[in-house]
């Protein structure tokens, strides 16, 4: 048997879940729909219409399966989501895209119509997108063959599944509602009540095209009556895109919509008109030759299918085939079955597949945006990574253990654990032949059930008297016996109706039936009488105290006991006995106190126990187990009658040794319900067969068995039976966690509940559970549950179990941290812990990985990172500091490896926290006061790994804290926090920096990153850096790392230089004296060369960012120099007598910067306007200060750059700046003037800007250009 691996959930409806899946052993991914069996008609319809269709615009069907609980449909995987999702995201689509999508829709729909299939419910949610953008029709639940009655087909499928009378099992009103689609896209004629047709599908297509363009359907209202009114009588508004900036609809598109949305189907566009419409720009020219006859051909072909009835499809395939062949219909045999098995899902030989065929992958995979629309009325809730499940937003007060366990007890048994199915005529126990009677020899009116219900009292009494008279007849002839059997068959048929059964049970007929059961001359009549009694008991809605049910129970018990060796007889009588006992039990439960008149004789329990034993036929075993299962669902005295010391092991024996799955499920279900009354029933099983054997049974491949076993274990744990043994059993915990891979929501929920019981009583198991990926399972399932919305009962149950488990784990973490702190506090300052202290350390410190698991989880992280957590964490770091410094010794107690692992995990936990700055926003002062001091101390550690780890954490945390946005109400607290941080770094960290910066990589990178963050945040810190004499060390770092200009260290050092140079309070004189100019020249030259190298495309972004920082540094340096020179000149002019020596010295120090002119000019044509802006400013100041000092300033290449810039720049300000630079160059250097005279392209550019060129509208630009030309002799 092939298996499938299920990955993430990609869609959900009220009764269906869609998974991305893969066939085991292949790399073929598929979409797998897991749906409740109540959707069988819809899924069967989907399969029968598509199982042979292969078309690029229709989702391909692969296969389908039936397992014990679900139907599984395997179809093509479409990874692009649904059209509905695309429209929702984009709001509206451009007309070209609507055309492209429309071509796909029309191609797919045209193919369906050619095959004779009407889609009937076209909506954007049922159109899926394949990766490349191809649209595909999906979800054929409501599609049909033209002329077919879909209600009849659904009723037939449902009736076949129910195994009998469709009239009772499938109400017509229910079927009518099931075949209705979305009213928003429904054509007017359908609203009026006519049947679906080609033209109604084309109306829906028009609505879809309209919605794609406008972002909303042509007719919409929250009120159904208003919507119907609009569809029938209002014309749609012209389609207007939601985005007003988008172009309006073309006349072709409006004309197309007008043709498709004609309310009169006779006037609506036909296929011929649609395919030839000008909007498609001849996309369908290949079909032109066929389109003229298309409508008539399709209609003719479809007409042949109308006469066939859905009943013929399933019940007489040969007749359907003959009829189809005779009429010459073109419809594929896909829709007219030649073999009933064609509509049967795959199953194993001799029974259904097990749910374990579909294994839920525990490997987390990236969630896709794939949407798969499900059956009508099933609104898909698409899981999205951007949306956090409400489970991750757990709120509410602290739960005491008492409250927690009280809520858990309410979750032990779910509705699905207590489902009751009939004992009599149960096809899973024994298939009964259909009951038939002959009205001709009935000797009374063969009233239908409907007529019997509405008979007047007098007519009912007459009817009842006739029935009683015939039943009471003592005539023993063959004809009389046959007539009585025929009457009993008729009674079996009408007893299936609740109201009729209730009236018959409380009539004199019931006493007569008991008498006949006792005295009838042959067993055929007795067996039929027993069946009538059983059916009456099964279907009655009540029970009067004077009804002789106990007499019937006693008689049936005696008959079974007297004929115990007659297995066939037991099979006839046991179901009736069971239905009567169950009837009494349910009525007693309703009355809420025992009735003496309903006391079941002990002999009945004895007989049933005998029927359970080994050696009996399996059918008898099954019936007895089914009786116990049903009766023990109730809280009644009758259920208590089954509680004996041997009942548990007997049912367990049946469960373990039977080869029939349905019997095994019934036996374990009965044991589960017995345990609800008396946990000792399951306790007796464990004591007899052993705990290991019971745990191994959880490996069953049948979901129901796993579910009942989990319920049994939960019940045991809640009572405290075998509690200590179970919570210490690692294999038990591992087995439970493996069940979290189950595709069944209920099983996963119960597994979480069992784990919760274990963790409450043994928190050390939390570590084992985390190592077995419990947190990953919780995250996966928390994404799939959406409390607050209407859910499947299974998802709601899972949500409740998960909520309690998450709450408990969140509340458990402070206790774990408290235990770790106590253990460390007890040995603080001790070199040799005592034996007790060492034991405590060995028990508590290994639990630290739990913290790491929780802070790395998106479900737990927001709830565990609190002020209390950060305080505890900081205290643990302080103890680690003590251990690292040698004040405390824990290596001897737990071992060196364990000690190092504890420190590493502790540091890793905080590393995980700082990845999410929002978590620390409200706790900055706590971090600064309690976490950063021990981290600063660990920077001095002798252990290289801890030193590096601590410095990295310190650097990243500091960057995070200083860049936090502060709310207005917390500014005062933030000032205090800043002051503490500054003091800590000044007093404890900066004194170490000279040594730190000289360490091997990557230590300097982290150290510099911290300095960058602090200098950006605080001008005061800039002065501290200068006072700490770190400038020479920073320049040494540059020298040591200049071979790797793009490395992290150089990026940080350049950022730091930028902060130092641009700070107003910076001591520039000190920087110049330490060699700032030399280092900036070298760094700028290397970086600019990298950026200008057209062959070097690696690390473009990093190099560009560095270049911009260096340009800012250069601009600040030149601005500073310019300012000093300006002040000196002003002092000289004013005659104040100031010395110009300082300015002259500075100019001399800065002169090497003139070498950068030949690099600044090639940077001017940069595509980045910011690079041009700052480069041109730097160049302008340089030529102002030094004129044409650089001999290569107007080299041919640079002249060409100037020419291109002057002609390409349109902003007069930029043109003037470039012209002034040129003017300064040529007026200060004869060499540059000569170069200009030979620079033809530059001269032409200047002529173009001058007035004679006729192109310049700006007089200042023209004047400058003219001045330069005149200087050059032009």
Distance CA 1033, CA 993 (A): 9
600 neighbors 581 (Cβ within 8 angstroms): yes
Whether cis (ω within 30° of 0) applies to the bond prior to 1002 is: yes
Q: Which two tokens stand for residue 698?
A: 């959880």
Residue burial 591-603, b: 16+ Cβ < 10 Å; e: rest: eeeeeeebebeee
81 neighbors 134 (Cβ within 8 angstroms): no
Q: Which two tokens stand for residue 215?
A: 């972002």
Sheet holding 61-66, edge to edge: 61-66, 70-76, 29-36, 16-23, 4-12, 358-360
Paired with 74 in beta bridges are 32, 63
Closest listed residue to residue 80, CA positions, set 466, 459, 370, 295: 370
123 neighbors 220 (Cβ within 8 angstroms): no
Distance CA 927, CA 930 (A): 6
Distance CA 1202, CA 357 (A): 74
- 121 is annotated as an active-site residue: yes
Q: Which two tokens stand for residue 638?
A: 């009758």
DSSP 757: H
Distance CA 490, CA 528 (A): 11
Length of the chain: 1274
Closest listed residue to residue 423, CA positions, set 610, 565, 585, 588: 585
Distance CA 250, CA 256 (A): 10
Strands (E), 549-639: none
Burial class (CB in 10 A: 0-12, 13-18, 19+), 447: middle
Q: Which two tokens stand for residue 321?
A: 């085939």
- Give helix then strand counts, H and E, for the chain: 63, 10
Distance CA 360, CA 739 (A): 10
User: 3-state SS string over 1002-1028?
Assistant: CHHHHHHHHHHHHHHHCHHHHHHHHHC
Quickly list DSSP for 1043-1074. GGTTSHHHHHHHHHHHHHHH-TT--HHHHHHT
3-state secondary structure of 404: helix
DSSP 375: S
Distance CA 459, CA 130 (A): 66
The answer for residues whose C-beta is within 8 angstroms of residue 663's C-beta and 6 or more apart is 618, 621, 622, 625, 654
Q: Which two tokens stand for residue 648?
A: 């548990």
Rg of the Cα trace of the chain? 43
The answer for residues whose C-beta is within 8 angstroms of residue 670's C-beta and 6 or more apart is 625, 626, 628, 629, 632, 651
Q: Using CA atoms of 852, 857, 863, 864 in order, give the dihedral in degrees to the nearest 10.
A: 0
Of the residues 121, 201, 884, 978, which is catalytic? 121
Cα 1062 from chain centroid? Answer: 49
Q: Using CA atoms of 1072, 1075, 1081, 1086 in order, give the dihedral in degrees to the nearest 10.
A: -140
Enzyme catalytic residues: 121
């Amino acid at each position: 048997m092939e298996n499938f691996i299920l990955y993430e959930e990609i869609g959900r409806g009220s009764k269906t879940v869609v998974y991305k899946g893969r066939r085991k052993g292949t790399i073929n991914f598929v979409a797998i729909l897991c749906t409740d069996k109540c959707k069988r008609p819809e899924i069967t319809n989907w399969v029968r219409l598509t199982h042979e269709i292969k078309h690029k615009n229709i989702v391909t069907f692969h296969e389908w399966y039936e397992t014990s609980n679900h139907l599984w449909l395997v179809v093509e995987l479409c990874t692009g989501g649904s059209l509905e999702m695309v429209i929702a995201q984009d709001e509206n689509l451009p007309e070209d895209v609507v055309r492209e999508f429309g071509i796909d829709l029309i191609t797919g729909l045209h193919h369906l119509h050619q095959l004779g299939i009407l889609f009937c419910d076209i909506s954007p949610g049922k159109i899926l997108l394949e990766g490349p953008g191809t649209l595909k029709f999906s979800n054929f639940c409501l599609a049909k063959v033209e002329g077919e009655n879909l209600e009849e087909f659904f009723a037939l499928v449902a009736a076949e599944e129910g195994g009998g009378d469709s009239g009772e099992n499938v109400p017509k009103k229910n079927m009518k509602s099931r075949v209705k689609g979305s009213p928003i896209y429904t054509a007017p004629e359908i609203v009026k009540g006519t049947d679906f047709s080609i033209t109604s599908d084309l109306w829906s297509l028009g609505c879809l095209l309209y919605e794609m363009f406008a972002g909303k359907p042509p007719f919409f209202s929250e009120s159904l009556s208003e919507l119907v009114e609009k569809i029938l009588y209002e014309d749609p508004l012209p389609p207007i895109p939601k985005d007003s900036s988008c172009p309006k609809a073309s006349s072709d598109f409006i004309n197309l919509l007008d043709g498709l949305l004609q309310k009169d189907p006779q006037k609506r566009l036909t296929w011929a008109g649609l395919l030839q419409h000008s909007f498609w720009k001849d996309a369908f020219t290949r079909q032109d030759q066929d389109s003229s006859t298309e409508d008539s051909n399709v209609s003719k072909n479809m007409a042949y299918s109308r006469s066939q009835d859905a009943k013929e499809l399933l019940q007489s395939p040969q007749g359907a085939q003959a009829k189809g062949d005779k009429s010459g219909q073109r419809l594929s045999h896909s829709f007219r079955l030649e073999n009933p098995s064609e509509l049967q899902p795959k199953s194993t030989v001799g029974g259904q597949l097990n749910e374990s065929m579909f294994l839920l992958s525990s490997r987390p995979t990236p969630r896709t945006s794939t949407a798969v629309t499900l059956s009508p009325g099933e609104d898909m809730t698409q899981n999205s990574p951007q949306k956090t499940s409400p489970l991750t937003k757990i709120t509410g007060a602290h739960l005491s253990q008492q409250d927690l366990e009280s809520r858990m007890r309410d979750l032990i048994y779910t509705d699905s654990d207590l489902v009751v199915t009939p004992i009599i005529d149960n096809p899973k126990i024994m298939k009964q032949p259909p009951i038939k009677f002959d009205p001709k020899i009935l000797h009374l009116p063969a009233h239908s059930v409907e007529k019997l219900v509405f008979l007047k009292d007098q007519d009912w009494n007459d009817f009842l008297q006739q029935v009683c008279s015939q039943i009471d007849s003592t005539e023993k002839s063959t004809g009389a016996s046959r007539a009585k059997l025929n009457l009993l068959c008729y009674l079996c048929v009408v007893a299936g109706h609740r109201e009729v059964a209730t009236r018959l049970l409380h009539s004199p007929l019931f006493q007569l039936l008991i008498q006949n059961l006792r005295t009838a001359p042959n067993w055929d009549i007795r067996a039929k009488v027993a069946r009538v009694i059983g059916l009456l008991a099964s279907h009655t809605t009540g029970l009067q105290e004077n009804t002789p049910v106990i007499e019937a129970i006693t008689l049936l018990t005696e008959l079974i006991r007297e004929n115990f060796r007659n297995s066939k007889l037991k099979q006839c009588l046991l179901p009736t006995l069971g239905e009567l006992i169950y009837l009494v039990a349910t009525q007693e439960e309703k009355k809420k106190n025992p009735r003496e008149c309903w006391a079941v004789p002990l002999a009945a329990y004895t007989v049933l126990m005998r029927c359970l034993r080994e050696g009996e036929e399996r059918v008898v075993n099954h019936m007895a187990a089914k009786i116990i299962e049903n009766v023990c669902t109730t809280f009644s005295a009758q259920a208590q009658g089954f509680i004996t010391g041997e009942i548990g092991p007997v049912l367990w024996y049946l469960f373990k040794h039977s080869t029939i799955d349905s019997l095994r499920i019934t036996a374990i279900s009965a044991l589960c319900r017995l345990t609800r009354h008396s946990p000792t029933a399951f306790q007796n099983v464990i004591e007899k067969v052993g705990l290991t054997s019971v745990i191994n049974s959880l490996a069953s491949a049948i979901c129901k068995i796993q579910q009942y076993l989990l319920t049994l274990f939960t019940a045991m744990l809640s009572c405290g039976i075998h509690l200590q043994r179970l919570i210490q059993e690692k294999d038990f915990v591992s087995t439970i966690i493996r069940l979290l891979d189950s595709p069944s929501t209920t099983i996963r929920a119960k597994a979480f509940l069992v784990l919760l019981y274990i963790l409450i009583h043994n928190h050390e198991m939390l570590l084992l559970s985390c190592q077995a990926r419990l947190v990953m399972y919780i995250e996966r399932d928390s994404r799939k549950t959406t409390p607050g919305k209407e859910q499947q009962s299974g998802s709601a149950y899972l949500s409740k179990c998960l909520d309690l488990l998450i709450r408990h784990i969140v509340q458990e973490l402070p206790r774990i941290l408290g235990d770790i702190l106590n253990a460390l506090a007890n040995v603080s300052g001790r070199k040799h812990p005592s034996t007790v202290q060492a034991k405590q350390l060995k028990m508590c410190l290994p639990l630290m990985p739990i913290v790491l698991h929780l802070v790395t989880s998106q479900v737990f992280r927001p709830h565990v990172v609190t002020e209390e957590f950060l305080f505890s964490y900081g205290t643990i770091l302080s103890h680690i500091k003590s251990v690292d410094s040698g004040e405390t010794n824990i290596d001897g107690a737990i071992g060196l490896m364990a000690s190092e692992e504890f420190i590493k995990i502790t540091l890793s936990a905080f590393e995980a926290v700082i990845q999410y700055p929002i978590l620390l926003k409200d706790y900055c002062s706590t971090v600064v006061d309690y976490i950063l001091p021990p981290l600063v101390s660990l920077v001095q550690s002798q252990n290289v790994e801890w030193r590096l780890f601590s410095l990295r954490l310190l650097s990243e945390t500091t960057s995070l804290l200083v860049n936090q946005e502060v709310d207005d109400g917390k500014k005062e607290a933030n000032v205090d926090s800043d002051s503490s941080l500054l003091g800590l770094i000044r007093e404890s960290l900066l004194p170490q920096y000279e040594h730190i910066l000289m360490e091997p990589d990557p230590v300097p990178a982290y150290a510099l990153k911290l300095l960058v963050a602090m200098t950006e945040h605080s001008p005061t810190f800039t002065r501290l850096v200068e006072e700490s004499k770190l400038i020479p060390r920073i320049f040494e770092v540059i020298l040591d790392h200049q071979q790797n200009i793009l490395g992290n260290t150089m990026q940080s050092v350049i950022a730091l230089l930028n902060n130092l140079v641009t700070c107003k309070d910076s001591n520039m004189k000190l920087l110049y004296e330490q060699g700032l100019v030399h280092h900036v020249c070298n760094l700028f030259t290397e970086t600019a060369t990298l950026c200008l190298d057209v062959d070097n495309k690696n690390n473009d972004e990093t190099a560009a960012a560095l270049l911009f920082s260096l340009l800012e540094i250069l601009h600040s340096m030149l601005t500073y120099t310019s300012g000093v020179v300006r002040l000196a000149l002003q002092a000289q002019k004013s005659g104040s007598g100031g010395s110009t020596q300082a300015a002259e010295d500075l100019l001399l120090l800065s002169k090497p910067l003139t070498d950068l002119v030949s690099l600044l000019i090639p940077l001017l044509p940069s595509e980045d306007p910011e690079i041009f802006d700052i480069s041109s400013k730097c160049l302008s100041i340089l030529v102002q200060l030094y004129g044409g000092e650089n001999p290569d300033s107007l080299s041919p290449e640079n002249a060409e750059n100037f020419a291109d810039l002057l002609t390409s720049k349109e902003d007069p300000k930029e043109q003037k700046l470039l012209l002034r630079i040129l003017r300064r160059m040529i007026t200060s250097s004869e060499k540059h003037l000569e170069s200009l005279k030979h620079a033809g392209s530059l001269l032409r550019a200047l002529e173009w800007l001058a007035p004679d060129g006729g192109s310049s509208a700006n007089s200042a630009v023209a004047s400058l250009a003219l001045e330069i030309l005149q200087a050059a002799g032009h």
